Structure 1
């Protein structure tokens, strides 16, 4: 890209961003948010309270990033599933779907068909 083309592209981006900035300057919702933030910061300074104190007051769990949820028991054991190939009478026992033979069957015959072979 030539320097001139790069300059014009950047100039167009700048013009677009200035247009967006002007739109935000006239946005009433933004003015309300800025006013709220200023009042909140003044109030916090008046009481000598920091943002972390406010967060811990409103949400005590927020201060603990690795807080464990309520203690759960051990994970439930997976059930053993037995698949029987109807043509070869070959049987596969698995607790999950990551079995080499089972995957090959599903690839060859389709997952729905192989699920029908479940004993």
Structure 2
């Protein structure tokens, strides 16, 4: 008897849900969306994409669990470049040689610093 009562309750619930769903099935917007999703799924299968990939392509801010390691906005933004160092010019008063460099890793500049001292060579900037 309990099983029969349970079956009748489930049947009533299904009938209520069906009566709610029937107007939606005939709604033109729902039909249009369903057709779109069907075509999208067939294209995704054809080109071997998962629906998560498509959603991520359309809106990267949604981010899924497997993409959570990538910070938001980094997928489609270029890498940030730091400001270039200023160009420094050094004039050796002993030889008249001129060096232009953006860093301290210049071979001749290192030789000058070893020979005359770093403080002295820094005074040679123009």
What TM-score do the two structures reach when normalised by structure 2? 0.38
- Give 1 or 2 for the bigger CA radius of gyration: 2
What TM-score do the two structures reach when normalised by structure 1? 0.40
